[in-house]
Structure 1
């Protein structure tokens, strides 16, 4: 994939965990929650809350995409296959968990270049600070909000519900 960052959220095409393109055009008209995830992190139990949000709102137009990343404390060392198995066996995850990527630095995936370019974090910091940072994209493809790792899926439930209404 080219490292150029497209103008539109819907022009992004990251790879799924089988290295096939995941075309964001299929997300048009949906509210999307994007999370950089890791299997061996103190925040890993958030998978449970993410799956609960997904089950609660998927039929109302919510999509959740997990992007495994090993850049923070090497907390996602597994292969894409091992990560998918971990998520299913330990947390019953049914939302898509895509190919492991970098979210910061020269090799950051275009999805994260796009997200960080549209919504800075605390004190204007553009980089991703840790695993389980979250971005909500509205039905028009705009980056609506960014949440730190400390924000649990439960704490953003009301915001998600509002965007889906």
Structure 2
């Protein structure tokens, strides 16, 4: 009897009948009436497969002598919940990367200040002179200036 298999599956899980009924979008008494039936709507069977992570064929094998599959401890999230979670995870990664970029910018500015201060000391020039040399020179000349204080 199909209804008995459903009842046994629920009874062997950590998921309450109330939670299963909510996931099936039916009332608990309606779920309990399913336990007495031999036929059930295909959509409900498919949803039960998703909730308990079993194959559809599970419901069509003999009950006696068949070992029950291990049942998930929690109900599978709905697709909307799944994508909400994925969006929040992605947003969290973006926030983390933005924080890391901000910290790298701060570290780079501090590094530039230290290099600039060292250049003024090593080259014996004032900051305005060094700034104009760095702004007006190409990359190769800038590298030469940086190496001269290293």
Give yes or no for TM over 0.5: no
Structure with the higher strand share, 1 or 2: 1
* TM-score w.r.t. length of structure 2: 0.25
Q: Report which of the two has the higher share of helix.
A: 2
Query: What TM-score does the superposition give when structure 1 sets the normalisation length?
Result: 0.23
Of the two structures, which has the highest relative contact order with CA contacts closer than 8 Å and spacing of 6 or more?
1
Between structure 1 and structure 2, the one with the greater Rg is 2
